[in-house]
């Protein structure tokens, strides 16, 4: 499946150079999204219904811009192309400008808000390193695996299944790693002051983007823009990277206001897996150290349609499904070679286990952690990049050569 749909029949949309939407897919996606919005609003109130819609918006944006972390870092490492990573710097810059004053104030529109500020130590670093390997083998990060699954990529569904299994094993095995040396939670705004921390973060984003652009120009003679890349229709896509960067920053800010905390993904994977373990009587997750944490102790007793993170993850998949329908590109393929299948299984397990150790994934630990001003967010990405390099290096062993993969699956992380 290529980055652009190929349409042969003449339609008004075709004459404009736009893909032809798949009406059945669009109608199914809209029916599911609207129906569940009504159910959640009636059963649990406006706040969870709003988060359900925010999740759908995240999936829609991610799919239409093919905005991910896995492919972005792989292409940056192997070819020096940096547009997606530079767009991430824009995303982070917009996020910190919104997050820092909001978290400093402690509330927005009367709603209490808090950031993700967690300890930074060897457990986070090792987990992020494993996560970096896993996302290159599995073909996606946390958000990438969800949105490509919703877009119809069957290998991503396998990665997602083993991501959940790996996260559940990590929750069961939590005590093995929790005593590794770590710094206490460090908030840069609290340590340096709001404006010095904000200035430092913005300067880092600008410096990273400038250095990457300079390297790309040296290697290729030009720099791929992030605002005008494949500008197309809002509904049918594809979007420039910058559109998704701005959308993700604003939707994460909306999550902060509505949920009282930033966007997160992977804890719900441990939730789902632990419920399966309990249902199959494999073990009793209620006695695991992971679920004994005061911040999680009540989660296993909560219905899934009352869990904000579960709702956002499911609606993210549906948002991507809707976007794929508008783009006319929902065509699942079931032929997966043995080596790519093995990579999806190994990658998924590493993603899940690594995310548990690292206190989150590329979204909750990196994006939301850095947006919250937490040092652990920077430790996460510094440790994930070597894992990404190693994972990229071994991809050919699994018939996942970066060049051929990029050419034939540009929509996948």
How many domains is the chain partitioned into structurally? 1
Tens digit of pLDDT for each residue in 240-273? 999 999 999 999 999 999 999 999 999 999 999 9
CA angle 130, 135, 136 (to 5 degrees): 105
156: domain range? 20-408
Q: Residue 203 and residue 201: Cα distance in Å, rounded?
A: 5
16, pLDDT greater than 70 = no
Average pLDDT value for residue range 295-301: 86
Average pLDDT value for residue range 43-66: 96
389 occurs within a structural domain: yes
145 occurs within a structural domain: yes
283, pLDDT greater than 50 = yes
Using pLDDT thresholds of 50, 70 and 90, give the confidence band for residue 295: confident
Q: Residue 308 and residue 329: Cα distance in Å, rounded?
A: 29
| Residue in the structure block whose two tokens are 């094993």 | 169
Tens digit of pLDDT for each residue in 106-138? 999 999 999 999 999 999 999 999 999 999 999
Q: Residue 48 and residue 259: Cα distance in Å, rounded?
A: 8
C-alpha distances in angstroms, 174 versus 141, 287, 291, 294, 361? 21, 12, 10, 15, 16
13 occurs within a structural domain: no
6 occurs within a structural domain: no
14 occurs within a structural domain: no
pLDDT at position 413 is 52
pLDDT at position 233 is 80
3 occurs within a structural domain: no
11 occurs within a structural domain: no
Using pLDDT thresholds of 50, 70 and 90, give the confidence band for residue 215: very high
Lowest-confidence region among 39-53, 171-185, 189-203 = 171-185
91 occurs within a structural domain: yes
Using DSSP, state whether 183 is helix, strand or coil: strand
Average pLDDT value for residue range 289-311: 90
Using DSSP, state whether 153 is helix, strand or coil: coil
Give me the percent of the chain exceeding a pLDDT of 70.
Answer: 92
pTM of this prediction?
A: 0.91
Tens digit of pLDDT for each residue in 345-371? 999 999 999 999 999 999 999 999 999
410, pLDDT greater than 90 = no
Q: Are strands 107-108 and 111-112 parallel, antiparallel or unpaired?
A: antiparallel
Q: Residue 228 and residue 138: Cα distance in Å, rounded?
A: 30
């Amino acid at each position: 499946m290529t980055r652009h749909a190929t349409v042969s029949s003449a339609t008004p949309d075709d004459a404009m150079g736009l893909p032809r939407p798949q009406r059945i897919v669009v109608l199914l996606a809209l029916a599911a999204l609207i129906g569940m919005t009504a159910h959640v609003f009636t059963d649990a109130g406006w706040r969870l219904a709003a988060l359900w819609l925010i999740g759908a918006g995240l999936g829609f944006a991610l799919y239409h811009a093919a905005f991910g972390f896995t492919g972005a870092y792989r292409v940056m490492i192997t070819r020096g192309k940096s547009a997606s990573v530079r767009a991430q710097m824009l995303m982070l810059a917009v996020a910190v400008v919104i997050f820092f004053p909001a978290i400093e104030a402690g509330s927005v529109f009367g709603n209490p808000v808090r950031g993700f500020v967690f300890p930074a130590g060897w457990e986070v670093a090792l987990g992020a390193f494993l996560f970096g390997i896993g996302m290159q083998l599995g073909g996606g990060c946390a958000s990438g695996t969800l949105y490509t699954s919703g877009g119809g990529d069957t290998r991503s569904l396998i990665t997602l299944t083993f991501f959940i299994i790996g996260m559940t094993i990590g929750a069961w095995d939590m005590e093995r790693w929790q005593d590794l040396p770590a710094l206490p939670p460090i908030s840069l705004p609290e340590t340096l002051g709001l404006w010095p921390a904000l200035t430092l973060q913005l300067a880092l984003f600008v410096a990273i983007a400038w250095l990457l652009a300079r390297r790309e120009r040296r290697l290729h003679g030009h720099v791929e823009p992030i605002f005008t890349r494949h500008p197309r229709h809002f509904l049918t896509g594809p979007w420039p990277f910058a559109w998704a960067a701005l959308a993700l920053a604003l939707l994460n800010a909306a999550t902060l206001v509505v949920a009282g905390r930033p966007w997160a993904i992977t804890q719900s994977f441990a939730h789902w897996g632990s419920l399966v373990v309990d249902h199959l009587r494999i073990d009793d997750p209620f006695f695991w150290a992971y679920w004994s944490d005061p911040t999680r102790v009540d989660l296993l007793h909560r219905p899934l349609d009352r869990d904000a993170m579960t709702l956002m993850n499911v609606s993210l998949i549906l948002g991507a499904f809707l976007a794929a329908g508008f783009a006319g590109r929902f065509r699942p393929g079931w032929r997966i070679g043995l080596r790519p299948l093995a990579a999806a299984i190994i990658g998924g397990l590493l993603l899940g286990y690594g995310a548990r150790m690292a206190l989150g994934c590329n979204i909750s630990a990196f994006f939301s952690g850095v947006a919250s001003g937490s040092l652990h967010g920077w430790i996460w990405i510094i440790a994930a990049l070597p894992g990404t390099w190693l994972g990229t290096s071994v991809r050919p062993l699994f018939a996942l050569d970066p060049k051929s993969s990029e050419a034939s699956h540009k929509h996948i992380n």
